[in-house]
Amino acid sequence: MKRTFIFLFIVGVATTFWFYNAISPVSRTSQDRHTITIEKGSSVTAIADLLHEKGVIKSPLAFKTYVRIHGKSAFLQAGKFVLRPTMAVEEIVEVLQSGKADEAIITIPEGFTVKQIDALMAQKGFIEEGEILRCAKECDFSSFEFLPQVGGLADRGGKLEGYLYPDTYFVTKEDFNRKFFLERLLTTTRKNIVDYYAPDIEKSGRTLHELLTMASLIEEETRADEERATVSGILWKRYDDGRGLGVDATVRYILDKPSAEITVADLNTNSPYNTRKFRGLPPGPIASPGIKSFIAALYPQDSEYWYYLHGTDGDIHYAVGNEEHNINRYKYIR
């Protein structure tokens, strides 16, 4: 009898120790985040197995036990959640029960302007429209020494235009700060472009500002990855030869006219961003280029071509001379 009691006591202590260890965080230091989708109608067992598979809980059995002990089985919500290995089962269950992720997933697409980032964050409910745009012009970002110090930048995005790295970010609404958010994007640019490509930028003979400006043109002027380096080579060749770049995207940018037809009056706009009228690069980027466009700007592909256009057939058509380019216009633009 006594032995049985001692045995049961030891088993109880061991089980309790195992349980509390099993519902503790998988890691105390991990920076990982996992986007997990709980389908409608998922059982507790299915949820536990998914969380274990994604590496955010130690034991499916411990998770199920915790949920059932606390009467939470019927309250776990379907949806998309961002969960971390540093979260205990208690925290995970609280998130799943509320139906709200503790962090939102924000993707800044390649080619977005500061104005579009502002609109996206307003749509997601993080700011009132105009707050990020205003901060981009007024907040102090002097700690980012790579930002341009030149004048003449478009009022739309100020110095930050083209320097906000397009990527997926995890953001909390409770303590969201517009300046800190923009600093995160700038820090990512520093890490992925400024620091990583520093030797190659110096070797290129171009400034970071020139490269990002050109990369933004490539981002807006190409439709497929395989076009980027060739278009880069054409634009750099025209730039170095003193010819006009003739990029319609710069006109669209300065007029805030992303899709409507460009008129003759538009092409006569008296702005240094109008590369149809003025030679050289515009004063600054016209969008945040993706890394592939930046690489294309840094490593242009030499070719015999001086012209390109996208036809209504969906393909890009290159030309060596203006006459061939005009023939391509006749043949491929409807």
Would you kindly state where each structural domain of the chain is located, as residue ranges? Answer: 22-102, 105-195, 206-332
> Can you give the pLDDT at residue 178?
95
Question: Is the pLDDT at 208 greater than 90, yes or no?
Answer: yes
Please give the residue that has the higher pLDDT: either 43 or 81: 43
Question: Is the pLDDT at 148 greater than 80, yes or no?
Answer: yes
| 232 touches 218 (CB < 8 A) | yes
Mean pLDDT across the stretch 1-17? 67
Q: For the chain, what is the mean pLDDT?
A: 91
What is the pTM for the complete model shown? Answer: 0.77
> Can you give the pLDDT at residue 97?
87
Q: Which residues of 282-306 are buried (b: 16+ CB within 10 A; e: fewer)?
A: bbbbbbbbbbbbbbbbbebbeeebb
Mean pLDDT across the stretch 152-181? 87
Give residue 101's pLDDT band: very low, low, confident or very high (50, 70, 90).
Answer: low
Give residue 8's pLDDT band: very low, low, confident or very high (50, 70, 90).
Answer: low
Question: Is the pLDDT at 87 greater than 70, yes or no?
Answer: yes
Mean pLDDT across the stretch 156-167? 93
Sign of CA dihedral 95, 98, 103, 108: positive
Domain 22-102: assigned CATH number: 3.30.1490.480
Q: Identify the residue whose tokens are 């990527």.
A: 167
